[in-house]
Structure 1
Amino acid sequence: MKKFITNIAVVSCMALASQQLSAQKVVVNREVETTNDGKMLLGHQLKDQFLKAPYADWYVKEHDEYAIDQKAIGELKKGKFNTYDLIVFMGTWCEDSHRDFPRLMKILEELKFPENKLTIIALNRKKESPNGDEGLYNIQKVPTIIVQKYGKELGRIIEMPTTGYIERDLVNILKKDDSSVIKEIFKK
């Protein structure tokens, strides 16, 4: 009888776990057709989507023409930026996203930032995504770039970088990271 109850408990747990996993499936690279804006990306995206028409028209030009601040890149490398997680909310309909998202991608390429640490979420004009991710992060404007470490938000860049350069704003966010402050204390 004890073995029977144990087996039922195990099967129930496995069924529940599989339901949880299937409920968490995320559609990637969703594209929708809108009346006012034409084609629009919506929800979780891979960066390759932006190399396709019609997004490549603005993405490639801004990406290729952007001159990276190499001093800031050096500081990001020194600060081990590749160990952080990035969540980027953007809109393929948004001019600020057209400017800053390709620049961010060029910066991340320069840093050889791991793709598995980057989440790109495209929003509609109401700043909504199919999974409601924007609500978890209280997104009001796009683009919004969120830097996280161990699931904790360290800082964000909203709409435009305050320094005028995304990479410099990222350096400023790293400087706020508590663990780097602790490291500085113990260096002395």
Structure 2
Amino acid sequence: MKNIITLIILVMTLNSCAEKVVINREIDTTEYGKMLLGAQSFDQFQKEPYKDWYNESYKIYPTDKPTIESLKKAKINSYNITVFLGTWCEDSHRNFPRLIKILDETKFPKNKLLIIAVNRKKQSPNGEEVKYNITKVPTIILEKYGKEIGRITEEPETGYIEKDLLNIIKK
């Protein structure tokens, strides 16, 4: 009986210490208004005030079709992608929806994409930015087998996210 009570107390203690993962955190600041923080799901970008800039940038971006086909052949779907963005950042407003359009056209599995929103200091509630040394947003990171193989920081070098992604994969 004593062992059972000890076991119950141990389980209760471990449960109270377990880290809870919060997704879709949103804050409302007096200085900057609404802002997403931490891990996010896609549906957050279909809510106000994010959906206007998200949908507009997604809609108007003309993807490079030959590069999209090359990404499919290069098996972009075998990679994991982590994106750090700021919902307050103009570069994120432009490039995050473009990335999603590219991934939609390559049929990239959404479960292989991690979206982390940061504040103006480039910080997230769980500190993921430290592991990836994030200094600018958006930052798009490609990983394979848990190892970073390349990143796009703020603006793509070629001017096209899909071309930069292909260049990273072909390294």
TM-score (norm 1): 0.83
Matched residue, 2:140:
145
**SS of equivalent to 1:42:** strand
Query: Are positions 1:156 and 2:154 aligned together?
Result: no
Matched residue, 2:129:
134
Render the CA deviation track for 1:12-66: whole Å, top value 9, x for unaligned.
Answer: 9x959x659932x311000000122110000000111101110011000000110
Gaps of 5+ in 2: none
**SS of equivalent to 1:163:** coil
- Partners of 2:15 and 2:150 lie apart in 1 by 34
Go from structure 1 to structure 2 and tell me whether the alpha carbon gap of 1:170 and 1:20 turns closer, same or farther (over 3 Å shift).
farther
Go from structure 1 to structure 2 and tell me whether the alpha carbon gap of 1:21 and 1:105 turns closer, same or farther (over 3 Å shift).
farther
Matched residue, 2:18:
22
Which deviates further from its counterpart, 138-147 or 104-113?
A: 104-113
Query: Are positions 1:92 and 2:87 aligned together?
Result: yes
Higher helix share: 1
Aligned with 2:105 (options 110, 113, 133): 110
Render the CA deviation track for 1:118-164: whole Å, top value 9, x for unaligned.
Answer: 00000000000000000010000000000000000000000000000
Gaps of 5+ in 1: 1-6, 177-188
Matched residue, 2:69:
74
**SS of equivalent to 2:100:** helix
Higher Rg: 1
Question: Which runs of 4 or more aligned residues in structure 1 lie more than 3 Å from their structure 2 counterparts after TM superposition?
Answer: 18-21
Specify the code of the residue in structure 2 equivalent to 1:110. Answer: E
Matched residue, 1:181:
none
Percent identical residues? 62
TM-score (norm 2): 0.91
